[in-house]
């Protein structure tokens, strides 16, 4: 019973999972930004639509207390696509498998993102949660990503003048990989959790859940709320 209660306490409707590839190239990480240029171009348009559709969803929730399912699935797909790109490159460097060009889940890829669809959302919270309530989370995300670079780099806006903690740790791991041929496992667990924190806040700010992101570190690749089937297409 205690274990069940602990799992329930730890569960959050946004689930982020990742698996470290057993044999990551020592040198490929030096060129991954170049290889990802096609993704950056596509993501620039996807994030533009993400912002526009989030505004539409805001008014839909305010009127109906429901997030339009089609917009929800699209926005979740943009976050999923962005996570895979970051996992391949500066967000982790933890795989050499090239990210797929798709919004839906790819069970074969080592990075996964899923957010539970809410049947109803608060009309009152939608007015304040994405700016007022989320301010403490934005401060933390700014530290982790470098003034929001986790998102702006994908939109083609290289506005951040300093790297965030995630990028620093990922680069440190890449250098360790270059020297030793091994990716430090403890740093991998920490990097994945920091990205998990960012994605939880992103989904909350995008109005996709009313549950406030927890101030906690759930270390490791598997999300504590993930079931064995969570990587499958929802």
Q: Does residue 114 form part of some domain?
A: no
Our count of domains for the chain comes to 1
The domain in which residue 40 lies consists of 25-98+124-205
pLDDT at 125 over 70: yes
Query: Which residues have a Cβ under 8 Å from the Cβ of 33 and sit 6 or more positions away?
Result: 89, 90
Q: Does residue 157 form part of some domain?
A: yes
Q: Does residue 70 form part of some domain?
A: yes
Q: Does residue 137 form part of some domain?
A: yes
Q: Does residue 69 form part of some domain?
A: yes
Q: Does residue 132 form part of some domain?
A: yes
pLDDT tens sequence across 66-122: 999 999 999 999 999 999 999 999 999 999 999 999 999 999 999 999 999 999 999
Q: For residues 112 and 16, is the Cβ–Cβ distance under 8 A? A: yes
pLDDT at 198 over 50: yes
pLDDT at 158 over 70: no
Residues for the chain: how many in total?
A: 234
Per-residue pLDDT, averaged over 169-191, amounts to 96
Task: Please state, in angstroms and rounded to a whole number, the distance separating the CA atoms of residues 183 and 170.
Answer: 10
**With b meaning 16 or more CB within 10 Å and e meaning fewer, what string describes 24-39?**
bbeeebeebeeebeeb
pLDDT at 231 over 50: no
pTM, two decimal places:
0.88
Task: Please state, in angstroms and rounded to a whole number, the distance separating the CA atoms of residues 145 and 199.
Answer: 11
Per-residue pLDDT, averaged over 152-172, amounts to 69
Q: Does residue 52 form part of some domain?
A: yes
Phi and psi dihedrals of 208, rounded to 5?
-85, -10
Q: Does residue 11 form part of some domain?
A: no
């Amino acid at each position: 019973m205690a274990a069940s209660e602990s799992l329930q306490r730890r569960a959050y409707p946004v689930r982020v999972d990742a698996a470290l590839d057993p044999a990551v190239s020592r040198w490929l990480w030096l060129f991954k930004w170049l290889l990802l240029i096609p993704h950056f171009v596509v993501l620039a348009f996807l994030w533009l639509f993400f912002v526009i559709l989030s505004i539409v969803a805001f008014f839909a929730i305010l009127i109906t207390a429901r997030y339009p399912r089609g917009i929800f699935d699209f926005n979740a797909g943009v976050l999923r696509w962005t996570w895979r790109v970051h996992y391949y490159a500066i967000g982790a460097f933890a795989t050499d498998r090239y990210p797929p060009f798709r919004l839906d889940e790819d069970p074969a890829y080592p990075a996964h993102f899923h957010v539970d669809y809410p049947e109803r959302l608060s009309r009152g919270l939608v007015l304040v949660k994405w700016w007022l309530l989320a301010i403490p989370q934005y401060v933390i995300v700014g530290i982790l990503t470098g003034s929001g670079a986790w998102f702006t780099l994908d939109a083609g806006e290289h506005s951040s003048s300093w790297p965030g903690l995630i990028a620093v740790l990922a680069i440190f791991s890449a250098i360790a990989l270059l020297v030793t041929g091994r990716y430090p496992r403890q740093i991998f667990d920490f990097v994945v959790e920091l990205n998990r924190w960012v994605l939880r806040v992103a989904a909350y700010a995008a109005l996709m859940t009313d549950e406030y992101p927890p101030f906690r570190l759930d270390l490791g690749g598997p999300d504590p709320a993930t079931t064995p089937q969570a990587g499958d297409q929802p």
